[in-house]
Amino acid sequence: MLLHLQTWPEVETYLKRSTAIIVPIGSTEQHGPTGLIGTDAICGEAVGRKLGEVTGTLVAPTIAVGMAQHHLGFPGSMTLRPSTLIAVVKDNVESLARHGFTHFYFVNGHGGNVAPFSAAFSELYAESSLARPGNRPPIRCKLRNWYESAKVKAISRELYGDSEGSHATPSEVALTWAVYPQAVRKAKMEPEVAPRGEFTDAADYRRNFPDGRIGSNPNLASIEAGQRLWDAAVADLAEDLKAFVKLAAG
Ligand code: NI
């Protein structure tokens, strides 16, 4: 159930049954020599939308540009400043809260989003705390990284071990291939497994990780693995979402 394919009377009817909404979030940034620019948004959206199907939960439009300043050394990468992203998250949540949505479940595909989203949630809660009691509807926000669910991590470890890395990983590349089989592509990687390490800004990142990967070998990806990872993420998050909504309702 996708919000943008509903009419307003249908949303009004949904709100009588549930006040929860899933919001897929990602990033638009380089993912190594073979990974799609949209990898993180594609993954968040694919998992979020399937989660909406299996749990009967409405799914909001994907927030597809995230906080990815460190990737700007590579063509095609886009970023919002942390302060901009915080404002975007607040306005998205407040728009929906006005109609009665209370539980916001963000399915995330990008590590750089975690800190700004956490700050946005604190801003939203602060506004509730500072308002006169009863003047603002109670809201709850939760963010989950699809790639960190227990079942997903077990599969990544089994299939890729130390070649999983932390950026342009075979797991995330595999998931994009399961969604878009026409995206499959491989290239010679040098070194086969990319270096690991830290970074600050875009120039520092490009210096340390010349082809964009961190610690990974995306050539190990396959469509079959992507489908397994997709199903595993949805299974894990479905349990988590049910617990979150129940907690919220109680
Ligand atoms: Ni990614």
Taking the centre of ligand 1 as the mean of its atom positions, its distance from the CA of residue 141, in whole angstroms, is 22
Taking the centre of ligand 1 as the mean of its atom positions, its distance from the CA of residue 68, in whole angstroms, is 10
Taking the centre of ligand 1 as the mean of its atom positions, its distance from the CA of residue 32, in whole angstroms, is 10
**Rounded Cα gap, residues 223 and 225, in angstroms:** 5
Residues 6+ apart with CB under 8 A from 70: 112, 199, 200, 201, 202, 204, 205
Residue type for position 112? G
Q: What six digits make up the tokens of 186? A: 């491989």
Q: What is the pTM of this model?
A: 0.97
Residue type for position 117? F
Taking the centre of ligand 1 as the mean of its atom positions, its distance from the CA of residue 167, in whole angstroms, is 6
What's CA 52's distance to the chain center, in Å?
Answer: 14
CB burial of residue 23 (10 Å; 0-12, 13-18, 19+): buried
Taking the centre of ligand 1 as the mean of its atom positions, its distance from the CA of residue 37, in whole angstroms, is 9
Taking the centre of ligand 1 as the mean of its atom positions, its distance from the CA of residue 88, in whole angstroms, is 20
Taking the centre of ligand 1 as the mean of its atom positions, its distance from the CA of residue 135, in whole angstroms, is 39
Supply the pLDDT for residue 191. 97
* Tens-place pLDDT, residues 57-77: 999 999 999 999 999 999 999
**Rounded Cα gap, residues 28 and 62, in angstroms:** 12
Supply the pLDDT for residue 248. 59
Taking the centre of ligand 1 as the mean of its atom positions, its distance from the CA of residue 41, in whole angstroms, is 8
Beta strands in the chain (DSSP E): 20-25, 58-59, 103-108, 140-145
Supply the pLDDT for residue 137. 79
Q: Walk across the sheet containing 140-145 and list its strands.
A: 58-59, 20-25, 103-108, 140-145
Tell me which residues of the chain have a pLDDT lower than 50: 250
Residues 6+ apart with CB under 8 A from 6: 14, 58
Taking the centre of ligand 1 as the mean of its atom positions, its distance from the CA of residue 40, in whole angstroms, is 5
